[in-house]
Amino acid sequence: MEQFLESTFWTELFKNFQNWLINELPGLLIALVLFFLAFKIIGFSLKKLKRTLLNLADKDDKVDTAEAEKRIITLTSIIHGLIKIILWVIFIMIILQKFGINIAPILAGAGIIGLAVGFGAQELVRDFISGFFIILENHIRSGDVAIINGTGGLVEKIEFRTTTLRDFSGVVHIFQNGKISNISNMTKDWSAMVFDIGVAYKENPQV
């Protein structure tokens, strides 16, 4: 009797696995191929969009090409990051469905967790909102030389949560966008270097 039950168990397991290979595996492989194709298409499209916007900015005499390039690079990199996150979430949901896992409770749990995180992580939400307005209002862009909260340097990266700045000594500083209280952009539209040189009264300044 025990041998019969064990044989039935393995037979049923093999049938279920065989059915999964026939019914679910092709769909999973197709989803995998489509996922990587979507990544390639989006990457190519964003590069093409960036080149198109740069060409339009270069042809417009009223637009500073260097300034436009900084803003375009910043915005396209952020859009690329958001699209990648959305694609990964969709792909993980498809995989879970193909393995027979009901994603409805997961989505409901994610909603509850998101609500709890929203209440508990107010600082994180503030960082995202501040980063959104820094990018939207074009305060600084990647490649700008700026002073953030008293620290000057090159802005290497702007994301929704943090801003990365490398100071003139080569040290990298990462600022939470919600805690940035003061931004001084030294290369917005144009830049200049001011030299304060002392001249003795006895010298002739016209020489």
pLDDT digits (tens, 9 = 90+) for 73-105: 777 777 887 788 888 888 887 777 777 677 666
Q: At what angle do helices 2-23 and 25-59 cross, to 10 degrees?
A: 30
Model confidence pTM above 0.85: no
Q: Which of 45, 119, 130 is nearest to 79 (CA)?
A: 45
Q: How confident is the model at residue 114 (pLDDT cuts 50, 70, 90)?
A: low
Q: How confident is the model at residue 4 (pLDDT cuts 50, 70, 90)?
A: very low
Choose from 64-73, 102-111, 113-122 the range with maximum mean pLDDT: 64-73
142 neighbors 156 (Cβ within 8 angstroms): yes
pLDDT at residue 154 in the model: 92
Residue owning tokens 């498809």 = 94
When mean pLDDT is compared across 10-14, 74-78, 161-165, the lowest value belongs to 10-14
169 neighbors 154 (Cβ within 8 angstroms): no
